[in-house]
Chains A and B, each alone.
Chain A
Amino acid sequence: MSEVKGTGRVKRGMAEMLKGGVIMDVVNAEQAKIAEDAGAVAVMALERVPADIRAQGGVARMSDPDMIEKIQAAVSIPVMAKARIGHFVEAQVLQSLGVDYIDESEVLTPADYENHIDKWDFTVPFVCGATNLGEALRRINEGAAMIRSKGEAGTGDVSNAMQHMRKIGGEIRRLSSMREDELYVAAKELQAPYELVKEIAQTGKLPVVLFTAGGIATPADAALMMSMGADGVFIGSGIFKSGNPAQRAAACVKATTFWNDAKVVADASRGLGEAMVGINVADLPAPHRLADRGW
């Protein structure tokens, strides 16, 4: 009986277990406990939520290992952490800490403006952001075991996440409707490997779990993303930048499960207090848009 760790099935399977759930950004053990109590399927441990990274500026990096370990000790659910795009040493550090998933994230300042991390080299699975199908397939080709829409993190404006989900879904539907002899050019246009393009044309879906992220701040936002075909939702700044985090977190969990029942979403939306203030993506100068990071 031989045991094999870190196989594709084990990495992608881990994401399957998160489906229908909400993954919440937390900056300390106390917030992690609130998230777990509210029914989060996992937490993302980071030093500053995207809204603060945006407000404070500077270079955003991997979190302090001490802080990640405190969160790991505080909760029984999976703990994820972010590495900078292309920063494979940060990823090695996070793997050595035993984090359950690494987010190679555009929210942090990229370490490499050409290459992403070769994720096949790792036992720990990776999630990566994408704004369109070609980007998603390039990340999967590099070994990502889970994809999330990028949205525009730290804004509370759901419009970019919506745009990315529509784009990814639309491009998958387009491939499904193509003749087989058209897929070569489709692969060229998507700048994605032909084998993955062909697989998607046949199955009509990504070979990994697709979550959504970036700007989700309310139960209705979460339900909207689920109805666009997301398998689950990341909520970053939306929870702990709001008036009543515990209640809002639980409300988003409910709305994610019952996304197709407007009555449940309505009940979940009642009396939550102030949502995060938010920034319109259109008001952000282009150099400050995080979704454009990644190639």
Chain B
Amino acid sequence: MKVGVLALQGDVREHVSALIACGIDPIQVRRVNELAEVDALVLPGGESTTIVQLAQIFGLFEPIKNRIASGMPVYGSCAGMILLADTILDAKEGQKTFGGLDITVRRNAFGRQVDSFESDITFADGSTDLIKAVFIRAPWVEKIGANVQVLASVDSHPVAVRSQKLLATSFHPELTGDHRIHRYFIEEVAKPALEKVK
């Protein structure tokens, strides 16, 4: 399985390291031909407005949107969650997303940087161990569609959700050195999704 990390802006390096730790040799995706090589994609943390802007300028926006619509497994953290959401609130005027995940996400919902925090939370992957979650100007999920499952919450706001092929967290597991979420994406989301296609 070839996994890409969208490398237009953001903490690309940290996602690359986390995937390598999961036994994946990731490809950094900046161009359409690089996108065509990958079976699954990670959307990193960063500024969602900047990433969308660059994707549009360099002709990646529609191709990524189409790949998601045709079933490519994707994991997005923070900005990546915003990019996967069908609907966003508190967005820049006219801000677009790739969409695909039937959720409504509020940008910077936990507040500005002075409100950013870390917390040990439960993640519904079958383990009862807490996971260190780092929230940086983080969004939360306000509404979920019928086929979306909540995997983690903070103060009753969903902060990790998945559909069959898409996973999104409003926190940054790539910053902690704990690769549980990346492993979950590879083993429980991407692999089953790609095997079905075969």
Contacts and interface: CB of A to CB of B under 8 A. Distances in A.
A19 B11 contact: yes
Contact of A254 (B54, B114, B115, B175): B54
Task: Tell me whether chain A's interface is mostly helix, strand or loop, or mixed.
Answer: loop
Interface hub of B50, B107, B154 (most chain A Cβ within 10 A): B50
Interface residues of B, number: 45
B114 A3 contact: no
Given A17-B78, A21-B9, A39-B49, A258 B107 contact: no
Interface stretch (B33-41, B96-104, B117-125, B141-149): B117-125
B84 interface: no
B49 A19 contact: no
Interface hub of B14, B45, B47, B117 (most chain A Cβ within 10 A): B47
A125 B113 contact: yes
Given A14-B137, A76-B108, A257-B30, A1 B54 contact: no
A148 B54 CA distance: 24
Interface stretch (A94-102, A105-113, A274-282): A94-102
A16 B14 contact: yes
Contact of B175 (A13, A20, A39, A99): A13
B19 interface: no
Contacts of B64: none
Contacts of B7: 20
B92 A9 contact: no
A39 B50 contact: yes
Contacts of A16: 11, 14, 45, 175
B117 A5 contact: yes
A42 interface: yes
Contacts of A252: none
A253 B119 contact: no
B176 A257 contact: no
A124 B90 contact: no
Interface residues of A, number: 41
B47 A19 contact: no
Interface string B163-198: 000000000100110000000000000000000000
B150 interface: no
Nearest to A40: B50
A4 B54 contact: no
Given A95-B114, A98-B114, A124-B114, A19 B13 contact: yes
Nearest to B108: A76
A101 B57 CA distance: 28
A17 B45 CA distance: 6
A20 B51 CA distance: 10
A253 B8 CA distance: 10
Contact of B9 (A14, A36, A257): A257
8 contacts: A5-B116, A7-B118, A10-B117, A16-B175, A20-B7, A36-B49, A36-B92, A254-B58
The 4 closest A-B pairs by CB, nearest first: A100-B113, A39-B53, A20-B9, A16-B11
